[in-house]
Structure 1
Amino acid sequence: MAHEHADLHDPETDPLATYVLEPDDVRPLLARAVAGPGHATHAARAPFTGAPIAAVPLATPADVPAAARRARAAQRLWAARPLRERTALLLRVHDLLLERQSDVLDLLQVETGKARTHAWEEVGDVANAARWHALRAPRLLAPRRVRGLVPGFTSVRVHRHPHGVVGVVTPWNYPLSLGLGDALTAVVAGNAVLLRADPQTALTLLWAAELLADAGAPEDLVQVLVGGPDVGMALLEHVDHAAFTGSTASGRVFAARAGELGVPVTLELGGKNAMYVADDVDVEAAAAAAVRACFGSAGQVCAGIERLYVHEDVREAFVAAFVRRTAALRLGAGLDYRSDMGSLASAEQLARVVEHVEDAVGHGALVLTGGAQRPDLGPYFYEPTVLVEVPRDARAFGEETFGPVVAVHPVASDDEAVAAVNDSAYGLVAAVWSADLRRARSLAARVRAGAVVVNETHHTLWGSVGAPIGGVGASGYGRRHGREGLWATTWEQAVVVQRGVHAGRGLGMAELHGLGTEVWPRVLTRALELQRALRLP
């Protein structure tokens, strides 16, 4: 779209009529999709209206080998370029993304149904991450020295090399953040990327591919294949590393196949994230944050909160504030900033949310606010919903809902809260609220989650790009962001050099072995004892 983009918001017409794109508006984007001749197409439906958006060419597993060959050819040339050229690309992406944000914000809203403020979070995230990686990569990818066997004689340097071709399997809920964001991390390390886009949000990622091209990315360095799970699985046979974001069930299948092929993977999977509200909080501040954490992107975010554990001493005040703020959220469809929450993304998402709420109520739960569909706003709208008295045998108690539904549970102590938060197979993100930061940090250290946020929401975690993000247990393994996320797209090589051997006066293994099979172990034993005494690592 870049310069010749569709004007998706025409105030002179019915706004809902503008959510269907004409073929000529998106033809330049569709041309970027990797698909063979005679390909099938898929027209995702706009969540705001239920109408088809645009017919996007679908890739098949048969399209993957040729795309991988092109990616390998592009990667060899890209990895040979100076690192400063790769970081400069990220900075140009940063600038162009902010300059053209209105285009992609429209696409994000049309394809996901999220409110514009939540769509902007994706733009801000990718720009923030692009800048961080561009400025930090030179230090993080530089060779580093480590101590050798014989100090002064053995030198060791550890080098990082790009894997080669990285496969990125991205879901529909955060296509720009999880698709373009992961691609940029791999690219700055010297990799090429095969990016499998979900058909629901394919246009956003095809727009991202055009942005990369305009920023100067070589042809075929990042290719977008639109398709289902079969395409994602096919990538594993042709890549050197893969990053998967999606459900726990799908991620386990993906990881099993990767294990058979010997392909290293990082997985960010599901979550049933919890927040604990201690008895010393400012209930209004905590309630306001809880609303943001629970209902951002209509709850369709893996780091969102679905379980609230509130100390019984402040439960009544907190729940009153939380319900009041939740009920005041403005729901709506519109390519502007007037709505606080948008739509669910699809009929399937709506059905899951309805099922979880009805099941909880059927098991005795109470709805304090919400709990209803809003067809007057659009086909997939559902009110932000607060439940209490949700029993353990209700699906919403332990299963990920992935919608605007949260259950509030009272607890009598910090210990009970920690036990309840940890009572889950998942372990992605958690939050702790307390006026006593020492207490909060202590509680956070006891929580089994890949990240714990104190006195805020996951937004501050995600925005802290230097911090690694990832889960434990059923929430996956590996990390994105931080040095760990960058290093995951590389492999390490140790180069060990022994000095003085050719001069005949070194301390190489040949000289040590020349002392005799009984003497050299005693020499090394003494050397180890000396290093221990000197506290040399």
Structure 2
Amino acid sequence: MSAQNPNPAGDPALDGPPDPEHDPRASYALEPEYVAALTARLVATSGTTAEVRSPLNDAPLAHIPQSTPRDVAEAFARARPAQVAWARTPVDVRAAMLLRLHDIVLDRQDEIVDLIVWENGKARKHAFDEPLHVALTARYYGRTASRHLGTRRVPGVFPVLTRAEISRVPKGVVGIISPWNYPFDLALIDGLAAIVAGNAVVTKPDAQTMLSALLGAELLEEAGFPKDIWQVVAGSGPEIGGAIIERADYVCFTGSTATGRVVAKACADRLIGSSLELGGKNPLLVLRDADLEKAAEGAVRASFSSSGQLCVSTERMFVADQVYDRFVERFVARTQAMTLGATLDWGNDMGTLISQAQLDTVVAHVEDAVAKGARVLTGGNHRPDLGPYYFEPTILEGVTPDMTCFGKETFGPVVSLYRFHDEADAVARANGGEYGLNASIYSQDGARARIIARHIKCGTVNINEAFGATFASLDTPMGGMRESGTGRRQGAEGVLRFTETQSVATQRVMPLGPQLGMSDELYAKVMTFNLRLLKKLGRA
């Protein structure tokens, strides 16, 4: 990728939105040949394009060819025969390609991170999390696919006479609809599990971040995966999302709860499975024995990583009375010390929101809270001097149930603080609402924190960490409870969801029925005797 960076040293004079006549940042551009090479991977014949603008400066970034429902049908038509051949490829061969992908992603991380920042606007250090997590995922399934997917012997009804085994058969062609907030990571990680399980994939990345997803498709081909098993289409959800669900054998969706309900209903109508990672209003608990410096540092990452546009980021913080004032002092100070900016460079602690729509939501939530009596401890302002959609990291106090941000997901750099005295009350309040995606607990008593964690209705709980401990531990399944979704990515569940369970049993010597002229009554008595004997022998 080639893009001219006129401010490699981070010159403050060049901070802020570009002036086309005076600011050389206005000449930022991706090379047309680079964009053309990526978009050539799309199945898109409509003849129309959609403009993508960078949230860094609202400058045009690319024009993406758009797909039609007919293109979606063509993508599935290409994927199906490819999947049949791919399913016959030994698992260890598929896994070896994932291990090659691991190295390729790490080798090309600078290019990947550049493109993520261009399209999404997050700070570079947060963009780096994406190739890191893709590499971790590729290595994990590259090393464990045979264990998860291999045929497994199980006890038959009669020892020796009955051989029983369980196989994992690929679903077929998996439809993946991925979001803009982690445009490289979430465009790939679910699909990596799907293809190592023997499936093909048709994916529709979000319209705002197509290039990051298309770069991922390029890297898959470079790693040796057959081209036709990974098809990419472009367009809005209402335009082509339904066409994907109509043809897929399984659907994986990451996005809002409202859209997730639509996807779930459409899949149910076709009697196909789905996994859905949806919204969250994630709590963080600071217990009275917490290390307050560690808790404050973690709270900054929990709340403001990727500008709060992270499904597992914290929006509600419950702090024990005994340490509340001391914690808040540290948390506010660390937040105020953050380096803010919307550039490609390292050094920013928080980047920008992605769009005007996200900015409008964040502004509306903060203004509503303030108008109804909430206090802004720090932040609370739109910063157009840093970027068109930039909003400061914001800490609110005194948020009440009548305020929009109390229960609705903000999906921005806004967190609300609440005191608690009784830990049981804190858990009950953390479980309030309908979401249940991620939670964090800070305590120096790990055993007690783990007991508390089991009472929190969230799919992942991190102790003395914001979200990274579960996110980066690939053996731990990740997903939501309640309205935060269904199904899990990562771990065994993350790959087995893309398979059908097939049981095969071979009966030897004697059939499971009367034989040699045996009467039905005698057969029943013989079977009863055998069942009692097997129980005495400890058989399951």
Q: Please confirm whether the aligned pair reaches a TM-score higher than 0.5, indicating the same fold.
A: yes
Task: Quote the residue 2:2 is aligned against.
Answer: 6
CA contact (8 A) 2:75 2:232 kept: no
Task: Quote the residue 2:11 is aligned against.
Answer: none
Q: Match of 1:446, SS?
A: coil
Instruction: Choose which of 224, 236, 243 in structure 2 pairs with 1:228.
Output: 236
Structure 2 residue identity aligned to 1:228 = S
Structure 2 residue identity aligned to 1:84 = D
Q: Residue 90 in 1 paired to residue 86 in 2?
A: no
Instruction: Choose which of 67, 70, 73 in structure 2 pairs with 1:62.
Output: 70
Task: Quote the residue 2:461 is aligned against.
Answer: 452
Structure 2 residue identity aligned to 1:320 = E
Task: Indicate the RMSD between aligned Cα atoms, in angstroms.
Answer: 1.6
Instruction: Please state how far the C-alpha of 1:525 moved relative to its aligned partner.
Output: 3.7
Task: Quote the residue 1:72 is aligned against.
Answer: 80
Q: Residue 291 in 1 paired to residue 291 in 2?
A: no
Q: TM-score, normalised by structure 2?
A: 0.94
Instruction: State the alpha-carbon separation in 2 of the partners of residues 403 and 19 from structure 1.
Output: 26
Instruction: Choose which of 291, 316, 329 in structure 2 pairs with 1:307.
Output: 316
Task: Quote the residue 2:167 is aligned against.
Answer: 159
Instruction: State the alpha-carbon separation in 2 of the partners of residues 127 and 371 from structure 1.
Output: 36
Instruction: State the alpha-carbon separation in 2 of the partners of residues 444 and 246 from structure 1.
Output: 25
Instruction: Please state how far the C-alpha of 1:259 moved relative to its aligned partner.
Output: 0.6
Instruction: Choose which of 235, 239, 246 in structure 2 pairs with 1:237.
Output: 246
Instruction: Choose which of 369, 375, 380 in structure 1 pairs with 2:389.
Output: 380
Structure 2 residue identity aligned to 1:150 = F
Instruction: State the alpha-carbon separation in 1 of the partners of residues 444 and 113 from structure 2.
Output: 37
Task: Quote the residue 2:486 is aligned against.
Answer: 477
Q: TM-score, normalised by structure 1?
A: 0.95
Deviations 1:349-381 (A, max 9, x none): 000000111111122111100000100001000
Deviations 1:178-204 (A, max 9, x none): 111111111111111101011100010
Instruction: State the alpha-carbon separation in 1 of the partners of residues 127 and 516 from structure 2.
Output: 65
Against the structure 1 CA distance between its residues 289 and 31, is the aligned structure 2 distance closer, same or farther, given a 3 Å change threshold?
A: same
CA contact (8 A) 1:71 1:165 kept: yes
Instruction: Choose which of 165, 169, 178 in structure 1 pairs with 2:177.
Output: 169
Q: Match of 1:510, SS?
A: coil
Task: Give runs of aligned pairs for residues 7-406 of structure 1, distance below 5 A.
Answer: 7-11=3-7, 16-17=25-26, 19-36=28-45, 38-230=46-238, 231-406=240-415
Instruction: State the alpha-carbon separation in 2 of the partners of residues 516 and 266 from structure 1.
Output: 50
Against the structure 1 CA distance between its residues 517 and 129, is the aligned structure 2 distance closer, same or farther, given a 3 Å change threshold?
A: same
Structure 2 residue identity aligned to 1:509 = L
CA contact (8 A) 1:34 1:59 kept: yes
Structure 2 residue identity aligned to 1:517 = D
Structure 1 residue identity aligned to 2:493 = E
Instruction: State the alpha-carbon separation in 2 of the partners of residues 215 and 159 from structure 1.
Output: 27
Deviations 1:110-142 (A, max 9, x none): 000000000000010000110010010011110
Structure 2 residue identity aligned to 1:516 = S
Percent identity between matched residues is: 46
Instruction: State the alpha-carbon separation in 2 of the partners of residues 201 and 236 from structure 1.
Output: 21
Aligned residues: 526
Instruction: State the alpha-carbon separation in 1 of the partners of residues 201 and 517 from structure 2.
Output: 51
Against the structure 1 CA distance between its residues 305 and 99, is the aligned structure 2 distance closer, same or farther, given a 3 Å change threshold?
A: same
Instruction: State the alpha-carbon separation in 1 of the partners of residues 502 and 199 from structure 2.
Output: 16
Instruction: State the alpha-carbon separation in 2 of the partners of residues 264 and 525 from structure 1.
Output: 39
CA contact (8 A) 2:156 2:163 kept: yes
Structure 1 residue identity aligned to 2:216 = A
Structure 2: state its 5+ residue gaps.
Answer: 9-13, 15-22
Instruction: Choose which of 483, 495, 513 in structure 2 pairs with 1:510.
Output: 513
CA contact (8 A) 1:16 1:48 kept: no
CA contact (8 A) 2:453 2:461 kept: yes
Q: Match of 2:248, SS?
A: coil
Against the structure 1 CA distance between its residues 321 and 515, is the aligned structure 2 distance closer, same or farther, given a 3 Å change threshold?
A: farther
Q: Match of 2:96, SS?
A: helix
Instruction: Please state how far the C-alpha of 1:519 moved relative to its aligned partner.
Output: 3.7
Instruction: State the alpha-carbon separation in 2 of the partners of residues 89 and 370 from structure 1.
Output: 46
Task: Quote the residue 1:503 is aligned against.
Answer: none
CA contact (8 A) 1:20 1:46 kept: no
Deviations 1:91-121 (A, max 9, x none): 1111111111111111100000000000000
Against the structure 1 CA distance between its residues 356 and 535, is the aligned structure 2 distance closer, same or farther, given a 3 Å change threshold?
A: farther
Against the structure 1 CA distance between its residues 8 and 143, is the aligned structure 2 distance closer, same or farther, given a 3 Å change threshold?
A: farther
Instruction: State the alpha-carbon separation in 2 of the partners of residues 35 and 428 from structure 1.
Output: 35
Instruction: Please state how far the C-alpha of 1:417 moved relative to its aligned partner.
Output: 0.9
Deviations 1:469-506 (A, max 9, x none): 01111001000000101001111100011111xxxxx2
Q: Match of 2:290, SS?
A: coil
CA contact (8 A) 2:3 2:30 kept: no
CA contact (8 A) 2:475 2:492 kept: yes
Deviations 1:377-402 (A, max 9, x none): 01000000001110011111111100
CA contact (8 A) 1:19 1:110 kept: no
Structure 1 residue identity aligned to 2:202 = L
CA contact (8 A) 1:192 1:221 kept: yes
